[in-house]
Structure 1
Amino acid sequence: MNTYAKVIVPGSPISKSNFKLHNKDGRAILPYNTGKAHDKYALYEEEIAYYARSQNPTIIFEESLIAILKVYYKSEKRHPDTANITKSIFDGIEKSGLIVNDAQIRRIVVEEFYDKENPRFELELFAESKYSLSYSLVENSEENDKILYSSLKKSAKAPIKKNEEKVKYSNNICSICNKTVDISSCVKADGGKTIICRTCFTKLF
């Protein structure tokens, strides 16, 4: 019985938490064949599934697991929240058949790194029947350089004033059919950047 597997997926990791669409039954969906930018989230899951299965062709985990995830971003300043990355990754791993259900991951350690030339993630899975996880927190003998995040807030866009907001939404274009739509009768996603009319939204199913 296999008790260890490793998956390496090249490219900048993607979080799908910023793009959420729901069908008429309220179930979350992830379109992949609209020809629009948001297809990348579903395609990324497929890419993860491909690498996971090709790198571990004979392994299927059915027991509880420990996961060590190392995420390597291209940039220190512009990347998704690492806390949200795990959902996209484990959905792809489950889709590969390497695991039965992502609920099997009972313990997980996530580490964030930067590699401009080779962004990727590396995931190691350990069966709990053979491995256990222990960790300790120690004080540094010398203080490391601080990684500050406060500067990121300064570069954020200023709030939109009411009159500016009217202009912004006065000419709404459906991301799929490119037709002007009434803002009150369309579906917005990706923080309002993606707009889909009701007709195109229905065709997604």
Structure 2
Amino acid sequence: MELPLRERNDLLLSAGYAPVYPQTPLDDPGLEHVRTALRHILTGHLPYPAIVVDARHELVLANDAFDLLTEGIAEHLLRPPINVLRLSLHPDGLASRIVNLEQWAQHILDRIPRDDLYEELSGYVPNAAPGPDHVGFAVPVRLRSARGELRLTTTITTFATALDVTVSELKLEAFLPADATTAALLAG
């Protein structure tokens, strides 16, 4: 079975066995090598924004270019824990700066389970059916910024071979320019 480590541990516990996979807090000294590697990746992605989130979509780490995404965001959304999906779709968050909000919101909502967070987020955006060009991935976000309109695509990296529950649930999201104009604006 291709179950996530957390679910494997839960199955073992329900069968009366001890969990096999550790769940180490990310700030534990034993995971310093993981935090160092993540910081190197984030720094190496500059001048483009990149973030690391946990299983609850809460911000763990971000590079300096993340500030470009958070300009003008309401302070209450930037207090830890910062849920990046809420930050994206909340009316006081990025939503007011996203030119293609309906398309971007659909892209986000397609990726998450239908739980309380889904219900909250879907309440922030118009209920729009995906258009004929919606493919579910590689949806560029068109974002108004002080530098001009940015067109960004994202890639998400997971650490599927990790043997620690915490590390296996991390996701690194890297924002990349979708066109030469955006690349030039971010390089400047």
Larger relative helix fraction: 2
The structure showing larger relative contact order (alpha-carbon pairs under 8 Å, at least 6 residues apart) is 1
Larger relative strand fraction: 1
Q: Give the TM-score normalised by the residue count of structure 1.
A: 0.23
